[in-house]
Amino acid sequence: MNFNITKIMFPWFFLVGFCFPISFDVENNSYQSMGRAWALSSESMPLTSNTFVDIAKQHNPAVVNVSVKAKTRKTSDRFKNPGHRGQKDQFRDFYDKFFKQQQQRPGPGQGKPPRRGGTGSGFIIDADGYILTNNHVVEGADEILVNLDDDNEYTAKLIGTDPKTDIALIKINRENGDNTPFPYLRMGDSDKLEVGEWVVAIGNPFGLPHTVTVGVVSAKGRNIGAGAYDEFIQTDASINPGNSGGPLINIKGEVIGINTAIISGGGPGGGNVGIGFAIPANLVKSILTDLREKGKVTRGWLGVMIQKITPDLAKSFSLKDNKGALVGDVIPEGPAAKAGIQRGDVIVEFNGYKVNNMEQLPKIVAQTTPDTDVNVVVVRDGNSVTLNVHIAILKDGEQKLAQGGATEDPLGMQGQDITPELAQSLDLGSEDGVLVSDVTAGQSAAEAGIKRGDVITEIDRKPVKNMSEYKRSLGAIKKGRTVLFLIKRGGTTIYIAVRIK
């Protein structure tokens, strides 16, 4: 693989994120800068001159290179068009490009493709050889190979995958009766993570094995449009193509995330610009037992379609603030419907967890054990109502109803019925049609120009009065077709043609 290496000289103090001369006094455990000092608590940040050296030495042996041999490479639905504000998934692009390049290169002797088709990272989580990595690293693989820091290579068995969170569990075994335990990493508590904490990323960027980079946690709970369970840790530790599946480690030596995605500056294979994303360790831990025992994840299902609460909606529904998830529709005969949840309810608490925004609810519901009863608190007509809901199992046929998420069609947009309150607050003049409540960047609807707040009144020249007619019309359309929408936008009416991918 060929790639350009650009040498850039930076003052050393930029490496710790400051724009002025700074030094670190190890003996007194304090920063000195411009005549001022900030004392550091040894409990909150036990940083010494050897901290990162120790992490690298102790944890490198448990970080692995994951490579695959595959006849064809599939593209995960979760990462077909993911990224932040329309950015492509540069990890996915890297694997596809690298795989094709390797196939095109003559192999030794016979001109056959070489053994490996793509490469990523992973890390061992117990002495028996179980390894966590990204689903998009191993997806579609006919053979998975794992290389350890000691240059030993193993063939791995795929134990379980979860495309929705892009996590995969694989396993390697010692050979010839060798019972030597594998080195492994300890999973930490990502909920205790604080913005500004030091973190270390270890992986195989651009195929360069066991590369260590250092940075800080830039943000928590990032939603980058990859799916219903987005809750990424953002970091400025250098993460590049090939880091996928590798660990993000705090200075206690605990894994607090799995490196998964980046926003790239462009160029061949993409590259780091200081914005990388990791799946929180606690999300991984919540599905690990299912992956190990069942090979897939069983999730809870509530059976509602929800939307964000805007200031206008909060005013229309006489809410004190914008917190909660507004129920736009309830699935007939679903758990919510049977419990008495109604359209227009605002879910503010689920099973003891506060619901501050729409994005939180699908994650909380998904982690709820199916076939159990939970209390759900809703605000209805200004009053708090507590309902008991028997949570069901999310089935494949119910994926589009995303365990409490708003209904999303194949075009990548979410719609809802227009209530009298919505018609009045948005000055629509009519309750007929379907209101577009959200549009996923990079999907068909967004690319065609449909926007949030648009009202769909016709599909293929036939009137659409509500969500039932909308879903019926789309359900009869085959993939690959171009669909003609009549859209109300502001005071105008326009036609938009959208191709179903």
How far apart are alpha carbons 63 and 245 in whole angstroms? 10
Q: Catalytic residue among 76, 190, 218, 244, which?
A: 244
CATH pick for 56-295 out of 1.10.10.1100, 1.10.30.50, 1.20.1530.20, 2.40.10.120: 2.40.10.120
- Superfamily holding 413-499: PDZ domain (2.30.42.10)
136 is catalytic: yes
Regions of the chain where pLDDT drops below 50: 1-45, 73-117, 397-408
Tokens matching residue 28:
């007194």
Residue type, 192: K
Residue with tokens 């938009």: 496
Tell me the CATH class for 300-404.
mainly beta
Handedness of CA 436, 438, 443, 449 (dihedral sign): positive
- pLDDT given at position 437: 82
Residue 166 among the catalytic residues: yes
Residue 49: its pLDDT value, please? 63
Tokens, residue 262: 């980046």
Q: Active-site residue among 59, 84, 136, 210? A: 136
In this prediction, residue 118 carries a pLDDT of 63
Strand 272-280 vs strand 482-489: parallel, antiparallel, or unpaired? unpaired
**DSSP secondary structure, 17-70, as one string:** T-SS--EEETTTTEEEETTEEEE--TTT----TTHHHHHHHHHGGGEEEEEEE-
Q: Which of 89, 162, 166, 454 is catalytic?
A: 166
Contacts of 277 (CB under 8 A, 6+ apart): 222, 224, 232, 233, 234, 235, 259, 260, 261, 262
Q: How far apart are CA 174 and CA 388, in angstroms?
A: 50
Quick one: which of 236, 244, 231, 234 has its CA closest to 286?
231
Would 56-295 and 413-499 be classified into the same CATH topology?
Answer: no
Locate the domains of the chain by residue range. Answer: 56-295, 300-404, 413-499
Q: For 371, how many CA atoms within 13 A lie in the half-sphere containing its CB?
A: 1
Q: Which residue from 438, 427, 444, 440 is spatially nearest to 482, judged by alpha carbons?
A: 444
Distance CA 210, CA 202 (A): 6
CB atoms within 10 A of CB 478: 6
